[in-house]
Structure 1
C-alpha cells in the first residue's frame, strides 16, 4: 500500500485554484493559512504552497510542502469531505521546526473538521 498523495487528490486546475482563492473562505493558524471551498462534486482535492517571495531557496519551499503533505496524510477523514483545500506556509523567518508546523496543521484541520460537524 502506497502512502503517497494520489494524483487525483491534488488540486491542479487553474480555474479551480482561482475560484478557491476568490470565493473560498480562509482562516489562519500561524504559520499556516487555510483556504477552502465546498465542492459540488464528492471529491476532495488539496494544494500545498510555500511562496517563493518568502522562501528564495527551492529546498526550503520543498521541505515546507513535504512537512505539510506528511501531516495531512495522517488525517484520513479529510479525504471524505467534499472540499477543495489550499494550505499555505506563511512564516517569514527561517523554516519553523516540523513539530510546530504539524501542531498548527492539526489545529487548523480540527477547526475545519468542526465546521463540517456543524453542517
Structure 2
C-alpha cells in the first residue's frame, strides 16, 4: 500500500460549521452509551467524517487523541460502504474506559447499522 492510502485527506473530512450543521439538521442516528453517529447524504461520491471529542467529556489529551485515531482508522476501513454520506461521531465520557478492541467492535457495528439505515436514502 502506498503512503497516501493511510492518510486522512481534507476531502474526507467535515471541515466547516456549515458541513456539521447539514448533518445536525436531519440526521440518521445510530449509537450506544459511549458513541453517537449522525449521518446524512452528501453530494459527493465519497464519505466524509467529522468528530466531536470534547474536553469536557475526555479530560486528558492522550485520551482524546487515542479515540480520534481509532475513529479515523475504523472510518478508513469502512469508507466503501459509507460512500455518499457525511458522518459525525459524537463521543461520551464512558468511552475512555473501553479498550481499543472494544471501541473498534462498537464502531464496526455502528458503521454497518448506519449504512443499512441510510441505504434507502442513497438509492432515492
Paired residue for 2:117, among 107, 115, 118? 115
For 2:99, the equivalent position in structure 1 comes to 97
8 Å CA contact retained: 2:30, 2:113 = no
Deviations 1:66-97 (A, max 9, x none): 11111222224135x21110112224363410
C-alpha root-mean-square deviation of aligned residues, in Å?
Answer: 2.0
8 Å CA contact retained: 2:28, 2:117 = no
| TM-score, reference length from structure 1 | 0.84
Shift of 1:116: 4.3
Paired residue for 1:87, among 86, 89, 94? 89
Where do 5+ consecutive residues of structure 2 fail to align? none
For 1:73, the equivalent position in structure 2 comes to 76
Where do 5+ consecutive residues of structure 1 fail to align? none
| TM-score, reference length from structure 2 | 0.81
Query: Partners in 1 of 2:115 and 2:109 — Cα distance?
Result: 10
Matched, 1:56 2:59: yes
Matches within 5 A, 1:33-52: 33-52=36-55
Give aligned pairs, total: 118
8 Å CA contact retained: 1:71, 1:102 = yes
More helix by share: 2
Q: Are the structure 2 counterparts of residues 68 and 111 from structure 1 closer, same or farther at C-alpha, using a change threshold of 3 Å?
A: same
